[in-house]
């Protein structure tokens, strides 16, 4: 296998793989599974510092984003879509799909969202049912400071939907302190599980907004409200992927036991950026660097494809290019979850140094961790 230093999916710990291979019962009929599911959700909530209920849904990270939008949006609802990245903008499509009216607040893609201009905007217009914001916009590695953005939105009475699929567990997230009504996560980023699960935490205000709807939620699979009494009724809307959830449980236990996790992510990310800058490579963003992914601009004279291919073929390491407006422009190094170790980054930077040399790129200094 190759080393997967991509910003998701990430590599998976052996004890998580083993947990997924255990013999299992029937997740519909076995009452103990309801407890196991609920306890796993509670563990997830506690790691994100919230009293809010969490749900594990069978589906990749995108399902969580769609479910949040599907469950909150009624035809004609105005929704503020904070856009300083590809995922940020992408929320507008979901809002339209469910009959809402997305209002884009577009800001510089190289700068983290700033509170003051947003406040000025909200002072003019704050008639929104909810707002969407991306914590770490993975295609550019942009980290938005949701600890100031979400409380600001709440000040104006706006519910907050946060995509922290690639942000959480490598960057701090405090759901209750920051007023996050629906937080979306996914199994395959810093949680370091295989692809296949999405997780949402839901505040009582968000639940109330769902309960107060005049129209039905226009989806079954993406309906969060349908889980309302799952524990009381011992009923899930569909059969839960029990093996995936066993793996998730182990991965969450791993996160809980890893006391230096945030410090390590901060340090690995900082030292990676410093190494790139020392060598003369250019980081994509001007600020707002996430601890989970580092994004640099393709140096002149080579293509992203060439660099990715040499890394893969000659060094057995997979890095990622990007997509949408950033396709072909940048390379992304993922250092999140189980991938985020000094050892992995040492090897990756050494390989990157060799690959750039082979392609004839002159660096100011050798890339070294
Ligand atoms: C990975 C990710 C998702 C999930 O979608 P993918 O299909 O894996 O791209 C959603 N939001 C963000 C910010 C992500 O990084």
Mean pLDDT of the chain: 98
- Ligand 1 centre to CA of 82 (Å) is 16
For residue 276, the model assigns a pLDDT of: 98
As a whole number, mean pLDDT of residues 12-39 equals 97
Is 355:309 a contact under the CB 8 Å cutoff? no
Q: Once rounded to an integer, what is the mean pLDDT over residues 298-302?
A: 97
pLDDT at 4: 97
Average pLDDT over residues 299-312: 98
Band (84; pLDDT cuts 50, 70, 90): very high
Instruction: Give the model's confidence band at 173: pLDDT under 50 very low, under 70 low, under 90 confident, else very high.
Output: very high
Q: How far apart are CA 25 and CA 293, in angstroms?
A: 38
Tokens of 254: 């791993």
Question: Structural domain boundaries of the chain?
Answer: 14-257, 260-358
Ligand 1 centroid, distance to 317 Cα (angstroms): 21
Q: Map the chain to HEC letters.
A: CCEECCCCCCCCCHHHHHHHCCCCCCCCCCHHHHHHHHHHHHHHHHHCCCCCEEEEEECCHHHHHHHHHHHHCCCCCEEEEEECCHHHHHHHHHHHHCCCEEEEEECCCCCCCCHHHHHHHHHHCCCCCEEEEECEECCCCEECCHHHHHHHHHHCCCEEEEECCCCECCECCCHHHHCCCEEEEECCCCCCCCCCEEEEEECHHHHHHHHCCCCCCCCCCCCCHHHCCHHHHCCCCCCCCHHHHHHHHHHHHHHHHCCCHHHHHHHHHHHHHHHHHHCCCCECCCCCECCCEEEEECCCCCCHHHHHHHHHHHHCEECECCCHHHCCCEEEEECCHHHCCHHHHHHHHHHHHHHHHHCCCCCCCCCCC
- For residue 286, what pLDDT is reported? 98
Quote the tokens at residue 101.
């009216």
Distance 343 CA to ligand 1 centre (A): 26
Q: Do the beta carbons of residue 137 and residue 110 sit within 8 Å?
A: no
Q: What is the pLDDT of residue 53?
A: 98
Two tokens, residue 182? 């629906």
pLDDT of residue 258: 97
Q: Is the CB of 9 under 6 A from ligand 1?
A: no
Class of domain 14-257: alpha beta
User: Closest ligand 1 atom to the C-alpha of 137?
Assistant: 13
Q: In which band, very low, low, confident or very high, does the pLDDT at 115 lie, cut at 50, 70 and 90?
A: very high
pTM tops 0.85, yes or no: yes
CA distance 306 to 265: 28
**Distances 136 to 199, 257, 323 between C-alpha atoms, Å:** 16, 24, 15
pLDDT-derived band at 301, boundaries 50, 70, 90: very high
Q: How confident is the model at residue 61 (pLDDT cuts 50, 70, 90)?
A: very high
Does 86 contact ligand 1 (Cβ within 6 A)? no
pLDDT at 172: 98
- Banded pLDDT at 71 (limits 50, 70, 90): very high
- pLDDT single digits (tens) 154-166: 999 999 999 999 9
Any atom of ligand 1 within 6 Å of the Cβ of 134: yes
Ligand 1 contacts CB of residue 166 (under 6 A): yes
Tens-place pLDDT, residues 126-154: 999 999 999 999 999 999 999 999 999 99
Is the fold of 14-257 the same as that of 260-358?
no
| CATH T-level assignment (fold) for domain 260-358 | 3.90.1150
Confirm or reject: Cβ of 10 under 6 Å from ligand 1.
no
The two tokens of residue 21 are: 């291979």
Burial of 131 (0-12, 13-18, 19+ CB in 10 A): buried
Percentage of the residues of the chain whose pLDDT score is greater than 70: 100
- Residue 324: predicted pLDDT: 95
Q: What is the pLDDT of residue 83?
A: 98
CA distance 290 to 186: 17
Q: Is 160 in the pocket of ligand 1 (CB under 6 A)?
A: no
CA quadruple 291, 297, 299, 305: dihedral sign: positive
Task: Find the 90 Cα to ligand 1 centroid distance in Å.
Answer: 11
**pLDDT band (50, 70, 90) for residue 201:** very high
- Which among 207, 185, 205, 218 is positioned nearest to 73, based on CA atoms? 218
């Amino acid at each position: 296998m190759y080393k997967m230093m991509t910003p998701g999916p990430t590599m998976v710990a052996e004890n998580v793989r083993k947990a997924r291979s255990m013999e299992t019962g029937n997740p519909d009929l076995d009452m103990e599974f309801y407890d196991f599911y609920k306890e796993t959700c509670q563990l997830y909530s506690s790691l994100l510092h919230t009293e809010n209920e969490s749900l594990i849904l069978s589906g990749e990270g995108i399902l969580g984003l769609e479910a949040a939008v599907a469950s909150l949006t009624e035809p004609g609802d105005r929704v503020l879509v904070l856009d300083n990245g590809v995922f940020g903008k992408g929320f507008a499509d979901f809002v339209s799909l469910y009959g809402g009216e997305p209002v884009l607040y577009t800001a510089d893609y190289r700068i983290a969202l700033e509170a003051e201009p947003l406040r000025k905007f909200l002072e003019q217009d704050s008639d929104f049912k909810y707002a969407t914001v991306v914590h770490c916009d993975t295609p550019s590695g942009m980290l938005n400071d949701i600890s100031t953005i979400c409380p600001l939105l709440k000040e104006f009475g706006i519910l907050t939907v946060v995509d922290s699929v690639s942000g959480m567990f490598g960057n701090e997230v405090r759901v209750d302190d920051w007023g996050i009504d629906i937080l979306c996560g996914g199994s395959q980023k810093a949680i370091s599980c295989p692809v296949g699960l999405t997780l949402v935490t839901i505040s009582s205000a968000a639940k109330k907004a769902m309960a107060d709807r005049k129209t039905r939620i226009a989806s079954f699979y993406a309906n969060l409200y349908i889980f309302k009494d799952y524990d009381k009724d011992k009923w899930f809307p569909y059969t839960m992927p029990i093996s995936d959830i066993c793996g998730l449980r182990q991965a969450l236990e791993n996160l809980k036991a890893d006391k230096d996790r945030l410090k390590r992510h901060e340090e690995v990310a900082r030292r990676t950026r410093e190494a790139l800058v020392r060598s003369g490579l250019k980081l994509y963003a001007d600020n707002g660097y996430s601890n989970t992914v580092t994004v640099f601009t393709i140096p002149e004279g080579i293509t992203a494809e060439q660099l990715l291919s040499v890394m893969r073929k000659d060094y057995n390491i997979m890095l990622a290019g990007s997509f949408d407006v950033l396709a072909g422009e940048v390379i992304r190094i993922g250092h999140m979850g189980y991938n985020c170790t000094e050892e992995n980054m040492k090897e990756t930077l050494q390989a990157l140094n060799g690959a750039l040399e082979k392609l004839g790129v002159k660096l100011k200094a050798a890339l070294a961790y």
